[in-house]
Structure 1
Amino acid sequence: MRIPPLYQRKGYQRFFAGVAIGFIIGWAFFLFQGGLAHEKLIHKIAKLQAEIIDYKKKNEILTSDDEKANEELAKKFKLHEINVRFSNTSSDKLSNLTKLHLTKAVEDDLEHLIGEDTETIAKSHALLVQAIENKIFELDDEQKYEVQIDHLYLYTGILRIYISAHNVE
């Protein structure tokens, strides 16, 4: 059996040539439209990535500013320093060395408060006053002193205490 020689007929040749040319034109159209759509998507993705980078930078700046503000706020509300000073009324009776030793003893007694919240210290200031006033400080020269708090000031990071001392016999 033999295949009929259809390649010699002009109608079939035109049909197959039209199919081949249509296929080539269709494939070119598909590539052109797909390329345009792909190019639009690439531009859109690049634009969105640039926006994401900008938003990340803005977010980083804002969060770093917030973190700095929070750290400064936390530092403000924590106790950093304790100053003990003698009030003017009791400073005439004691020597300077005794005053120095008493202020150092009171500061050492309150040293555990450094780093605490000022709000907590403010709430328990009565307990703080009683703890200092009820303690008897014994110095190197075997003399015992009782300290009385005249004023207590609590600033943002500083606790300032004005005391007067009396010799306990």
Structure 2
Amino acid sequence: MHIPPYHRKPSWQRFLVGTFIGAILSYFIFVYMHGNIVEGLLAENKELDSQITELKKKNETLTKDNENKQSNEPVTVEEIEIEILNREELRLNRLTVLDLVGLIKEEIDHIIGEDISTLAENDRLLKSTIQNKDFQLDDFTYNFSVETLTISRTVKIEVEAEISN
């Protein structure tokens, strides 16, 4: 097999020299653009690192101040968690359970923000508030009996449901 001697024709020589010079120019343009982009990204990275450092210092300071304030203030209730223990026995679906938990939370949501020691003294009142109330949902009336009541920053209440007609 024979390769044709195109390298001797002036038109092919101009084409090859132009391709070579174009490749060199495009390489330098690529290196220049890449350098500018990387430089910009490095500057942005340094800026973000300095902001992160400042925010960490500010967070530490605020956390220390918050701890100092909390040591002087009484501990209060922040959240209420309610669990229905016998939901499988009553065949309650997820939506019904969520609605019932929402109804119970509406009834006792006034305890959020109260002092834990005050709430611990009045735990019987909290239990009777839940047990003496009939909760109407769809066509059923539900009564609850409180099985477990844990009072801390998060009040955890475990109840058993009964359907009354």
Name 1:163's counterpart in structure 2.
159
In structure 1, C-alpha distance between the alignment counterparts of 2:82 and 2:63, rounded to whole Å: 36
Give a deviation string over 1:130-157, Cα, whole Å, max 9, x none: 1110000011x121100111111112x1
Q: Please, what TM-score do these two structures have when normalized by structure 1?
A: 0.54
Name the SS for the 1:149 alignment partner. strand
| Conserved 8 A contact 2:143-2:164 | yes
Alignment of 1:124 onto 2:122: yes
Name 2:77's counterpart in structure 1.
79
Q: Cα RMSD (Å) of the superposition?
A: 2.4
| Conserved 8 A contact 1:146-1:165 | yes
Deviation (angstroms), 1:90: 4.2
Q: Please, what TM-score do these two structures have when normalized by structure 2?
A: 0.56
Name 2:143's counterpart in structure 1.
146
Deviation (angstroms), 1:100: 1.1
Deviation (angstroms), 1:98: 1.6
Name the SS for the 2:99 alignment partner. helix
Name 1:13's counterpart in structure 2.
none
Unaligned residue ranges in structure 1 (runs of 5+): 1-63
Q: Percent identity?
A: 26
Letter in 1 for 2:108: L
Give a deviation string over 1:40-91, Cα, whole Å, max 9, x none: xxxxxxxxxxxxxxxxxxxxxxxx999643422367710000011112x443
Q: Which has the larger radius of gyration?
A: 1
Deviation (angstroms), 1:99: 1.2
Cα distance change, pair 146–117 in 1 and its aligned pair in 2 (3 A): same
Name the SS for the 1:116 alignment partner. coil
| Conserved 8 A contact 2:74-2:115 | no
Name 1:95's counterpart in structure 2.
93
